[in-house]
Amino acid sequence: MTGKSESKVEVAKRHGRHLRGTIAETLTSEATHFGHDDTALLKFHGTYQQDDRDARRALEAARVEKAYSFMVRVAIPAGAITGEQYLDLERIADEHANGTLRVTTRQGFQFHGVLKGDLKAAIAGINRGLLTTISACGDVQRNVMGCSAPLGDADHAAVRQVAEALALELRPATRAYHEIWLDGEKQVSTDAEEPFYQDRYLPRKFKTAVGLSTDNCVDIWSQDVGLLAIVRDGRIEGFNLLVGGGLGMTHNKADTTARLAEPLGFVPTEHGVEAVRLVAAIFRDHGNRSDRRHARLKYLLAEWGIARFREEFRRRASFALGPAVELPPLPFHDHLGPHRQSDGRWFYGVFVQSGRIVDTDGHALKTALHQIVTRLRPGVRLTAQQNLLLTGLDADGIATVERTLGAHGVTLPAQLSAVRRFSMACPALPTCGLAVAESERAIPALLDRFEAELDALGLRDAPLTLRMTGCPNGCARPYTADLAFVGRSLDLYNVYLGGGLAGDRLVDLYRADVPTEELLDTVRPLLARWAAERDGGEGLGDFYQRLMGIRARRTTVTGRELPTVDLIPLEVSR
């Protein structure tokens, strides 16, 4: 695809000399920010150019340029780092960012508020700690997810090994990253420099995860590609290869969709990495490069159908693709609190609200974690629910962790309500350029109100995933939640219902354009019915599905849906 048919980002990639552009020149100039083409290329290096949107209007009125800063993202396959690396990242946050760390929903870390003059020092510092930011963003394979619980058994260990191998297999080969950020020797850009991605990379982001049939803690169905390990008697027999998931869509655009991945077939264990590479190659060669709203792999699957995609995969594969293994619904574990490792030691899961590691009044999580990691030197693992696991502890270490957290006002997992424990929110305003509404800043007060309501209904411990996003792009995976609030404009949200902890079905639009202050009121009657009519340990999404008489698992949601609020029956379906 060339000329007018290409999107502007495709042109920037093709002319960018394998991600170089004019980044190095602008980095050392007096300019406060980068131009369009370079901002597109910067994402591949792991950073987004942003500005303070709280200040934008006043600066425009004063005819002053935007208050630019950068978000820097660290790619951490399966979310595993050492205690020393955690302390290095904490120091970088203090010296070069806004003093906070944010655990992402893809098991990485983000820094916010990095100024242009600090950008190179921040990225170089991350690399000195033997971590990287390359391909944490951009039209490449993103951070590879995998269950981070250090249970020590063979299947969990294998998942992490495959995740790490995948990250290396599809990491960009260009030397541009080393030239720009690590003062590497400059090289002439040639086609041979990027043998897999070539000069255009992928049409769009490409999210992968390695999951387990015993625990869907990585939300495997939401990925572009998932390797779902089939575990029997403690060993992996192979992988169900899942393709075509993705949760981003556009409001009022019926041709944009959130979609769950579907099984392509069964892959022998030794061919798992090759299988993902093949899917990426098909996407590279056939994905949409003219309209970025339709450029994800899920749209190619929708256009071709699974049969044609399977045929193309088999044509390219060096191994036989078998039929996918039929599985029951996957269980889910958040790994919070104390747990035994197979070596007799312990790990402890710490709840991190919205993934933000920060000290606030009466809640000094950042200080508590600093003291714990400095004293105990545990391993650190990040989860897909934006939480943090401290690993390799003895029994005294567990006591130290709980004592230190409690002393700094951090709520222990056993004391959390279900709605708070299973909540997630994206950063949204004031940093994200795509946000149209609040999310991370709004969810604490919203959770307080929901907790009070659910406590009064006797539902404090009832399973309920509540997720909030500032736009419809789905970063906090709202469309698989029991209950989700997705920003429509500054004070309006679409309310979605019907997902659940398992992450294996999508939601319905319950009501559109609800003001922030009316979000709880909108679902209060349904919460009351859930309390009165729920069946055993039934979650809210399960109850909604039963109430509506829904039997089929929903796998696609469009950007334009009819609300179901007026369709709720007076009597529950049995």
Catalytic residue positions, numbered: 73, 142, 205, 207, 426, 432, 471, 475
Alpha-carbon span 413 to 236, nearest angstrom: 31
The Cβ of residue 297 has, within 10 Å, a number of other Cβ atoms equal to 30
415: burial class by Cβ within 10 Å (0-12, 13-18, 19+)?
A: exposed
Q: Is the peptide bond prior to 430 cis by the omega test (within 30 degrees of 0)? A: yes
Q: Are 288 and 295 in contact (CB under 8 A)?
A: yes
Residues 250-289: b if buried by 16+ CB within 10 A, e if exposed? bbeeeebbbbbbbbbbbbeeebbbbbbbbbbbbbbeebbb
Q: Shortest CA distance to 35 belongs to which of 116, 96, 135?
A: 116
What 8-state DSSP symbol labels residue 296? S
Alpha-carbon span 508 to 554, nearest angstrom: 9
Angle at 214 between CA 210 and CA 218, to 5 degrees: 40
**In the block, residue with structure tokens 């495959």:** 162
- DSSP collapsed to 3 states, 206-229: ECEEEEECCECCCCHHHCCEEEEE
What 8-state DSSP symbol labels residue 131? -
C-alpha distances (whole Å) from 133 to each of 19, 33, 165, 223, 243 are 14, 19, 17, 20, 25
Q: Shortest CA distance to 349 belongs to which of 410, 425, 288?
A: 410
